Amino acid sequence: MSNAQAVTGSEQASFNRVAALNEAAKQLIARSHVVNLLALDARVQSKREGSSLRGFDEVSSQMQHWSRDLHSALERLAALSREVVVEVSTVSKEGHLLALLRRAANSSTSPLADETRFRLEALHHGRECTLLGLWRKVDETLGDLDLLGMMAVVLSRSAMIEASSGTAEQRAQLGHVAQEFYCNSEAVVTVLKAILNQMKRA
């Protein structure tokens, strides 16, 4: 089977991968919003408490950065998934045209159908390369997201350590925030693992 046939034959898989990516991105965006709000709230609280919670303030600031980085990576992913849909749609249409041209060439003595087919096949091959390039970029972005997932877990653990350094009242207040950071980070990692596994299987 040629690469072109392989790509054309996997239209459904490609659409499914894009749909799965979009669904995962929606969940991750929701999580990143929650983390951003939590971090903002935590920063206000720790600022109010003064120098004793400088460490927690710093970790919360890092969580805000993380949330923004996650958001940017997801925006890149969304733009890529739109490009993939455009390419897969075109590959699908061209694949259908090629199949028809092959049939026309088989039942015709004129070289025209073959000439047209060759031209379209060259275009199709270019499109296939573009599509493969896009999928590589998707994989890279998923790799970035994977790193961000790991970073979130580390940050949320740091938040827990910092939260435990304050007074009993501060521990009660910030322990809850740190726990929320942790839960959201874990959820992000779970979603990422699921989508990465799905991409690997595809």
Partner 1 sequence: MKKATTLYENGNHRWQVIARDPERPSHLIDTNEYLITSNSVTMLTDPGGQEIFPAVFAALSEVADPRRVTHVFASHQDPDVISSLALWLALKPEIKCYTSWLWCTFIPHFGGSNDTFIPVPDDGMTIDFGGITMSIVPAHFLHSSGNHHLYDPQAKILFSGDVGAALLPPDQDSLFVTNFDQHVRHAKGFHQRWMGSRDARDAWCARAARLDIEMMCPQHGAIYRGKDVQRFIDWFAELEVGVLRSGS
Token pair of 19 as six digits: 């749909």
Token pair of 137 as six digits: 């970029």
| Residues between 73 and 112 with contacts to partner 1, criterion CB under 8 A | 81-82, 85-86, 89, 92-93, 96
Q: Is 5 in the site for partner 1 (CB under 8 A)?
A: no
2 Ramachandran zone, left/alpha/beta (phi>0; psi -120 to 50): beta
Q: Where are the alpha helices (DSSP H) in the chain?
A: 3-9, 11-49, 54-106, 112-163, 168-201
Residue 16 CB, shortest distance to partner 1, in Å, is 7
Residue 157 CB, shortest distance to partner 1, in Å, is 33
Residue 175 CB, shortest distance to partner 1, in Å, is 36
Rounded-to-integer distance, Cα 58 and Cα 50, Å: 12
Other CB atoms within a 10 A radius of the CB of residue 112 amount to: 11
Nearer to partner 1, 14 or 46 (CB): 14
> What DSSP state is assigned to residue 166?
S
Residue 14 CB, shortest distance to partner 1, in Å, is 9
Handedness of CA 185, 186, 187, 192 (dihedral sign): positive
Q: Which of 4, 22, 76, 153 binds partner 1 (CB under 8 A)?
A: 22
Nearer to partner 1, 41 or 75 (CB): 75
Q: Is 16 in the site for partner 1 (CB under 8 A)?
A: yes
Q: Which of 3, 5, 12, 52 binds partner 1 (CB under 8 A)?
A: 12
Token pair of 3 as six digits: 């690469």
Rounded-to-integer distance, Cα 17 and Cα 198, Å: 8
Q: Is 23 in the site for partner 1 (CB under 8 A)?
A: yes
Nearer to partner 1, 6 or 86 (CB): 86
Where along the sequence are the contacts to partner 1 (CB under 8 A)? 11-12, 15-16, 18-19, 22-23, 26, 81-82, 85-86, 89, 92-93, 96
